[in-house]
Amino acid sequence: MNTNYIELVNVTKQYGHFTALNNVNLALQPGKIIGLLGPNGSGKTTLLKTLMRIIRQQYGVVKICGYDACYETRKFISFMPDRAFLYKSMTVMNAIKYYQELFQDFDMNRANYLLQTLGIDIYANIDKMSKGNKEKVVLMLTLSRNVPVYLLDEPLGSLDPVIKHEMLTVIKQCSHPNNLILISTHLIKDTEEILDDVVFLKQGRVVLNTSKANIEQNGKTLEQYYLEVFSHV
């Protein structure tokens, strides 16, 4: 039985003459929090959007839970984009109702727990919230769905340390043997503690796919190793 929740085989995506993903091969299993790491422009968001079928690869195969990626495989994924996407007039309560009505896998108990843990005011208007609180709301909505795959695109952005800590704690709590959490970020130091595996993406290519333990066995921190791979100095 195929246990890969995410599988990419020879995937190439070009925007005009720019190659965003270059012959990417990747197979990711459940039960882990995986960091998709790389500098800006390395193809992280393109990879996540390809998994969501928001954009399409020119070459190669993308599979989600064993099925070729199409709009139907979106039901397996809960996606947190790196930009605002909810209606501007929504309050937190409206957004929860929206998710509850449109996603059958929405778990209200988990949503209540996350609301409490993250200290979110359900009556607040999302558009009038601070950036950090907006991110908390979107994370709460994303993680409140019961799906096999969670894709979090730059979930920590430029948040303050307290909010970062709260968000990382709930991400860790939501990790389960039957789900896969893929976090795209370049904030290595912040996410390091919760990651099980890492995938390094450089100029659209996967240059490393290993466990964090493997890196640490060599006596290096993830951040040190990242700097070795990506630093030009």
Instruction: Point out which residues bind other proteins (CB under 8 A).
Output: 15, 45, 52-56, 70-72, 74-75, 79, 81, 83-90, 98, 101-104
Question: What is the rounded end-to-end Cα distance, in angstroms, of the chain?
Answer: 45
Beta carbon of residue 177, minimum distance to other proteins (angstroms, whole number)? 24
Beta carbon of residue 77, minimum distance to other proteins (angstroms, whole number)? 8
DSSP symbol at 131: H
Angle at 214 between CA 208 and CA 220, to 5 degrees: 90
Q: State whether residue 133 is helix, strand or coil.
A: helix
| CB nearer other proteins, residue 17 or residue 88 | 88
Beta carbon of residue 108, minimum distance to other proteins (angstroms, whole number)? 16
| CB nearer other proteins, residue 122 or residue 208 | 122
Beta carbon of residue 141, minimum distance to other proteins (angstroms, whole number)? 10
Angle at 75 between CA 134 and CA 133, to 5 degrees: 5
| CB nearer other proteins, residue 53 or residue 63 | 53
| CB nearer other proteins, residue 97 or residue 176 | 97
- In terms of phi and psi (left: phi > 0; alpha: psi -120 to 50; beta: otherwise), the region of 153 is beta
Angle at 193 between CA 223 and CA 117, to 5 degrees: 140
